[in-house]
Structure 1
Amino acid sequence: MLATDKVKKVHIMEVGPRDGFQSEKQFVPTGTKIKVINALSRTGLPEIQVTSFVHPKAIPQFVDAEDVVAGIDIVPGVSYRALVPNLRGLERVRPLRDRIDTVSFMLSVTESHNRANGNHSIDETLEEIAAMQRLARSEGFRTVGSMICALGCPFEGQVPIQTLDRIAGRYVELGIDAISIADTIGVANPRLVYDVASNLVGRYPEVTFNMHLHNTRDMALANTLAALEAGISRFDGGVAGMGGCPYAPGATGNIATEDMINMLHGMGIETGIDLERLLDVARMHQEFIPHALDSALLRAGRGNILLPPPERQQKIAS
């Protein structure tokens, strides 16, 4: 029996409105962002990362972060999360505590990527995260620590497990008990995912880990299964396969949420998400995203639609 046979339900967070849109060169109008998030909120998704409070000069796509958060419908039962890269970003989100309940902290696990991504060393970033953690908790936010490039860095290659242990341990010392393991540039394979995830889950049983996978090399679904085998049952997904990494040439987006759910439901694993409604949201993206989307279900459909018998197809084919 596979370990996945014992998994009954998986928790999925949608990150498309943040991680997906941030890679788009063309500005996604504020009203469109709100429309997408409102539609996602009604699919059964338990959690949505709606925006980033990064400086607009760094990522102009999020110049409207406050307007987006103020404009979305807050649907009961849905958790709304924002990425806050620094103390200034956290100060911006403080007045929106009644709408945003969780903040994610940003840290790359290699010095090269952390400096490229945030212009600080890892130790400097951890020092700021310590201050952010104190402020966020005093304001009543739930907090999540990220481990960006945990499964491979475009500048330094594979990351030693000791590095991940050190950062996870520091997060735990700060009182952060939810950590995201990210394959930011999509270089992981199932063996690596299993080894890293099982090590971290075993060393830090008090932590809730989630897996953030990208599908750059068509490994994301296989890596999802490897993470499940290792004991992780929380995953990020990007509707329509949106996203990418500016420091990884050719990198595509997050694992398409609809593809992951289609696989899990086919295996008898529940998510609480209405796949057909989610597919409708994925199709919405085709109206305003000016390039191909990395979603198998958008290309080929769900695969459970029966065709007419051959004798009824003859007229169609002729």
Structure 2
Amino acid sequence: MIKLVECPRDAMQGRSEFIDTAIKAAYINQLSQVGFDTIDFGSFVSPKAVPQMRDTEEVLSLLDLFNAKSKLLAIVVNRRGAEDALHFEEIDYLGFPLSVSETFQQRNTNKSINEALDTVEEIQNLCEVKGKTLVTYLSMGFGNPYGDPFSSELVAQFVHHLDELGIKIISFADTVGSATPELISELYTVNSKEFPRIEFGLHLHTHPQLLKPKIDAAVASGCMRFDGAIKGYGGCPFAEDELVGNVATESLIAILEGHGFDLNLNKIEFVEAMKLANVVFH
């Protein structure tokens, strides 16, 4: 079954103007009625690093989760953030951005890759104690603009290490739009066979006109977990100046339904979410 992850956190985090807390909560409440598997709703990180996310805890307090159809995911980058997030039983998943690129790991979390791997192990242990699931994002998972080493074999080494830590969900993240259909096919085909215990996802930043061949390749290679953001808003503020956006959820839905998948979404609620997105990201 296809799992769709809606990412309002990723859509919002790089915006310079602060989005009102009540508006964020209203938007996430609307998204929770659509039928997405998971909503990446906020992050427990330094407010200096990501000012837009400084109200994540308050947003959480305003969410109406009684009839929500989605699980909640929060991004963390260190033990303290993980401990903060784990105080809330409403949060099902913690997400950690682990980079294949040493340069980007430093830019994104102010850690080396080795330090970040130690943090992943710490957070994984905390999640297991609390009955939560850690989602590890392999950012720069399809190459990087910094000249750092990259190969599909290097990605497989990261996956092997994470498998040894007991990580159950890994999302390959194309932070700067460098994925090709051929590389997507290679990464998913090789790793899904080698590590059958792991659920592999795809978090693309891409130009809209290049999206369909990439999703087609992922589907053909067995990927069943896809991240998107309504209207393609957002991107990573720590990557580079010329950002490519998130995958537009409406485009992702159309492509996946074109493959014959029943995504079990409430289309009426989705239309309302699209309308509300115009208010949030005006």
Normalised by the shorter chain, which TM-score bucket? over 0.9
Separation (CA, whole Å) in 2 of partners of 1:218 and 1:31: 34
1:253 aligns with 2:250: no
1:174 aligns with 2:162: no
Higher Cα radius of gyration:
1
Deviation at 1:242, TM superposition (A): 1.2
1:150 aligns with 2:141: yes
Separation (CA, whole Å) in 2 of partners of 1:283 and 1:187: 31
Q: Give the length in aligned residue pairs.
A: 280
Structure-1-length-normalised TM-score = 0.84
Separation (CA, whole Å) in 2 of partners of 1:268 and 1:13: 19
Separation (CA, whole Å) in 2 of partners of 1:196 and 1:52: 28
**Superposed counterparts of 1:225-240, under 5 Å:** 225-240=216-231
Match of 1:302 in 2: none
1:93 aligns with 2:99: no
Match of 2:269 among 277, 288, 297: 277
Match of 1:10 in 2: 2
Which stretch of structure 1 is more off in the superposition, 191-200 or 280-289?
Answer: 280-289
Match of 1:140 among 126, 131, 134: 131
Contact kept, 8 Å, 2:74 with 2:91, in 1: the verdict is yes
Deviation at 1:217, TM superposition (A): 6.0
Q: Structure 1 residues 158 and 257, CA, compared in 2 at 3 Å: closer, same or farther?
A: farther
Deviation at 1:276, TM superposition (A): 4.2
**Superposed counterparts of 1:49-68, under 5 Å:** 49-68=40-59
Separation (CA, whole Å) in 2 of partners of 1:177 and 1:147: 13
Deviation at 1:157, TM superposition (A): 6.4
What stretches of structure 1 of length at least 5 have no aligned partner? 1-8, 291-318
Separation (CA, whole Å) in 2 of partners of 1:248 and 1:76: 35
Q: What RMSD in Å do the two structures reach over aligned CA positions?
A: 1.6
Match of 1:241 in 2: 232
SS at structure 2 position matched to 1:23: coil
Match of 1:219 among 210, 215, 228: 210
Contact kept, 8 Å, 1:258 with 1:278, in 2: the verdict is no
Q: State the identity %.
A: 32
Match of 1:199 among 173, 190, 197: 190
Separation (CA, whole Å) in 2 of partners of 1:169 and 1:289: 39
Q: Deviations over 1:277-310 (max 9, x none)?
A: 32331222222424xxxxxxxxxxxxxxxxxxxx
